[in-house]
Structure 1
Amino acid sequence: MSEAIANDPRPTEARLLEMVFPDHTNHLGTLFGGQALAWMDMAAFIAASRYARSTVVTARSEQVDFNQPVRKGQLVETIARIVKVGRSSMHVDVDLVAEDLLTGDRKLCTRGQFVMIALDELGRPVQAPPLPVAEAA
C-alpha cells in the first residue's frame, strides 16, 4: 500500500549527510576546509533551488567560521536554512555538524552564510518568492 507524502510547497531547509573518508582529509586526518565549503555550498544550493523552484547560483559566501575539526570516520550533517529573501537573492545559513557514529556525540564544527540568486531560463536574476510570515499564535 502506498502512502502519499505531503508536499511542502516552499521548503526552507535542506539536510545532507556525508561520511568523512581519507580522501576528504589532510595529513592530520581532519576534513579539508575546501571540502567543507563544497558540502556547505551544495546544501545552500539545494535549499535555495527547492525554495525558489528555479535555477540558482552562488553569489557570495560570507563569513565562514571553522570552530572544531572534523575527523576522518565521522558523519557530517550539513544543514542549510533560508533566513532572508531579497528581490532575487536568498540568504542561507549553513551549519556543518560532525557526529561520532559509535557514541552519537554531535558537535557544531563550521558555520557560514551564503547568498544565492534565482535565475530565469536565460540566466537573468528573477524574483524570489517572499519568505512565509509566521502565523500568530
Structure 2
Amino acid sequence: MEAKAVSASRAEFTHLVLPPDTNALGTIFGGRIMEWVDIAAAIVSQRHCRTTAVTASIDELHFIHPVRLGDIVILKVSVNYVHKSSMEIGVSVEAEDPRSGLRRQTSSAFLTFVALDEAGKPTPVPPLILETQEDQKRFEAGRIRMERRKQQRLKRQKKG
C-alpha cells in the first residue's frame, strides 16, 4: 500500500452561520458545529483511505469562543495519525467576522475513523508521509491519544 502525504487529504471548509443554525442567544448550536466537524473529518478520512470510513469516536471537542449569527465558520481538517485500519483526524474551527475580517479559533476536535471494505469489515489504511515538523508533532500527539483511548477501552471491557 502506497503512503500518502498529509497534504494530499488536508482540506478547508467554509460555512455562513444563518438563523436556523443559532439558538435564542444568536449563537450557533454546538450540535451544528459537531455536525460540520464530523462531515468534514469524514471527507478527509475518505480522501486518505479512498474507501468508506466511519466515525468511531469524537473526543476532546472543545468550544472555546461563541460563534455568532452572520459569522463565517472555517474548518481546517487534516489526518494527524494512522494506525492499522484507523485514522485520527484533527479539526480546528475558526469564526471570522465578515465586517472586520477578524478570525478567532472557536473549537477544536479529534475524531477517530475506521476504514471499511466492501463487506463492512475494517481494512488497512495507507501510511502517512509527514511533510513538516507540525505534521510530526501532530502525528506523535495522535499516537499518544490513540494509546490513551486503547487503555480506556481496556478499562471499560474489564468493568463490563
Q: Same fold (TM over 0.5)?
A: yes
Tell me the equivalent position of 2:113: 116
Taking the aligned partners of 1:23 and 1:120, their CA distance within structure 2 comes to: 37
> What root-mean-square deviation, in Å, do the aligned CA atoms of Structure 1 and Structure 2 show?
1.6
Give the drift of 1:133. 4.1
Taking the aligned partners of 2:65 and 2:55, their CA distance within structure 1 comes to: 25
- Report whether the alignment pairs 1:129 with 2:132: no
Tell me the equivalent position of 1:80: 77
Alignment of 1:33-112 (within 5 A): 33-112=30-109
Give the drift of 1:12. 3.1
Taking the aligned partners of 2:120 and 2:16, their CA distance within structure 1 comes to: 34
- How many corresponding residue pairs? 128
**1:96-123 Cα distance to aligned partner (Å, 9 max, x none):** 1100111110000000100011110111
Give the drift of 1:134. 3.6
Q: Give 2:117's aligned amino acid.
A: D
**1:15-64 Cα distance to aligned partner (Å, 9 max, x none):** 11110001000000001000000000111001101011111100000111
Higher helix share: 2
Could you tell me which runs of 5 or more consecutive residues in structure 1 were left unpaired when the two chains were aligned. 1-8
Taking the aligned partners of 1:31 and 1:42, their CA distance within structure 2 comes to: 17
Q: Give 2:62's aligned amino acid.
A: D
Taking the aligned partners of 1:20 and 1:134, their CA distance within structure 2 comes to: 33
Higher strand share: 1
Give the drift of 1:79. 1.1
Tell me the equivalent position of 2:138: none
Closer, same or farther: CA 70–50 of 1 in aligned 2, 3 Å: same
Q: Give 1:88's aligned amino acid.
A: S
Q: Give 1:100's aligned amino acid.
A: D
In the TM superposition, structure 1's runs of 4+ consecutive aligned residues that sit over 4 Å from their partners are none
Could you tell me which runs of 5 or more consecutive residues in structure 2 were left unpaired when the two chains were aligned. 133-160
Percent identical pairs in the alignment equals 37
SS at 1:82's partner residue?
strand
Taking the aligned partners of 2:34 and 2:78, their CA distance within structure 1 comes to: 16
